[in-house]
Amino acid sequence: MKKIAVILSGSGVFDGAEIHESVLALHAVEKAGATWHCFAPNVEQLHVVNHLTGEATEESRNVLVEAARIARGNIEDVAKLNVDGFDALLVPGGFGAAKNLTDFAINGAECSINADVAAACRAFKDANKPAGYLCIAPVIIPMVYPESVKGTIGNDDGTAAGFNG
């Protein structure tokens, strides 16, 4: 049975992993006859958003703890992700990918990636294993596959300009 590693960026479209996208991706993995295990960086979120009002709050939340809401406990620190135990990688979107896995939301094309997330993603690249990056998560692609692939990021001109430098 195939096993898929999934990297989440928290819980919530505006400050973490997009919940519908994440849950439906996990469901699709199961429907395909595979299993999944989630990972997330054990770091504080860039900020916390009140999803009712869309406004940032003064709260502080941990990305791994928040992502555990989606994974229902089937989750570990991304620093522990061992590529040898998995057949493929999946990274759902939500603005957490641009705020917690990377700093794309702040720095655009000049962004950087969390070191543990980078190591995990590059391990799949180096092992020639498939990886899927959904929604805004393709901002990670140039930092993992700098010369070997071309990614798309939708049709928002501002986001595309930041993605393509």
Which structural domain range is residue 94 located in? 3-164
Mean pLDDT of 68-72: 96
Average pLDDT over all residues of the chain: 92
The whole-model pTM stands at 0.92
Distance CA(82)–CA(80), nearest Å, equals 6
Q: Could you tell me the CATH number of the domain that includes residue 114?
A: 3.40.50.880
The yes-or-no verdict on residue 86 having pLDDT over 90 is yes
The yes-or-no verdict on residue 113 having pLDDT over 70 is yes
Residues of the chain with pLDDT > 90: what percent?
80
Scored b (16 or more CB within 10 A) or e, 123-148 reads: bbbeeeeebebbbbbbbbbbbbbeee
The yes-or-no verdict on residue 76 having pLDDT over 90 is yes
Catalytic residues: 135
Q: Which two tokens stand for residue 106?
A: 């702040």
Distance CA(84)–CA(109), nearest Å, equals 31
pLDDT of res. 5: 98
pLDDT of res. 66: 97
Chain centre to alpha carbon of residue 91 = 4
Distance CA(100)–CA(62), nearest Å, equals 10
Query: What radius of gyration do the chain's Cα atoms show?
Result: 15
- pLDDT band, very low/low/confident/very high, at 3 (cuts 50, 70, 90): very high
Query: How many structural domains compose the chain?
Result: 1
The number of helix segments (H) and strand segments (E) in the chain equals: 7, 7
**pLDDT per residue over 121-141, tens digit each?**
999 999 999 999 999 999 999
